[in-house]
């Protein structure tokens, strides 16, 4: 059994820079354990697998794995997966079904934008924090999800993997 995959350098304008990512754009039928083993084998911070959506309002389902576990969301993995899918089709807008819910990604040339619903603030006390506490939490957890530099994408077949 073989798998097609792409290697992507995200958040960089040069090869072998930025955040490495492996994207399996045609992962239908791949077992969960195989996805985890492939992520472990690549040993990148994340590896993504693209599947048909279970939510009809989404373009596809994207599962994100680290070498040790599945994640509900990762910014660079989402951006890199969108770059690969855009390079394989004429589509430039995607709604990914991810563990955190739908994530909209717009691809405009070399620019990518993620649109996320605001996360619900939670704390261990169950009490709503004051305004200063919310600002501190947002400053610590807010990240820019806009990508302008070009992405490098390489496609490689992976042969001989047994499920």
Active site residues: 46
Q: How many CB atoms lie within 10 A of CB 29?
A: 9
DSSP state of 148: -
> How far is residue 2's CA from residue 44's CA, in Å, rounded to a whole number?
20
Q: Please enumerate in sequence order all residues whose Cβ is within 8 A of that of 90, keeping only pairs 6 or more positions apart, or say none.
A: none
Residue 128 to residue 49: CA distance in whole angstroms: 37
Tokens of 134: 């919310």
Q: In this structure, are strands 70-71 and 19-24 parallel, antiparallel, or unpaired?
A: unpaired
**DSSP letter (8 states) at residue 99:** T
56: alpha, beta or left, given left = phi > 0 and alpha = psi -120 to 50?
A: alpha
């Amino acid at each position: 059994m073989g798998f097609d995959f792409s290697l992507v350098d995200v958040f960089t304008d040069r090869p072998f820079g930025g955040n490495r990512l492996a994207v399996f754009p045609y992962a239908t039928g791949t077992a969960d354990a195989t996805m985890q083993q492939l992520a472990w084998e690549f040993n990148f911070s994340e590896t993504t697998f693209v599947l048909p959506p279970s939510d009809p309002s989404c373009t596809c389902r994207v599962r994100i794995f680290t070498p040790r576990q599945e994640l509900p969301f990762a910014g660079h993995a989402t951006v890199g997966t969108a770059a690969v899918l855009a390079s394989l089709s004429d589509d430039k807008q995607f709604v990914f079904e991810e563990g955190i819910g739908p994530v909209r990604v717009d691809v405009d040339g070399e620019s990518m934008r993620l649109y996320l619903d605001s996360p619900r603030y939670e704390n261990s006390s169950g009490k709503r924090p004051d305004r200063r506490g919310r600002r501190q939490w947002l400053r610590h957890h807010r990240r820019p999800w806009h990508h302008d530099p070009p992405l490098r994408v390489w496609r490689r077949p992976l042969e001989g993997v047994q499920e």
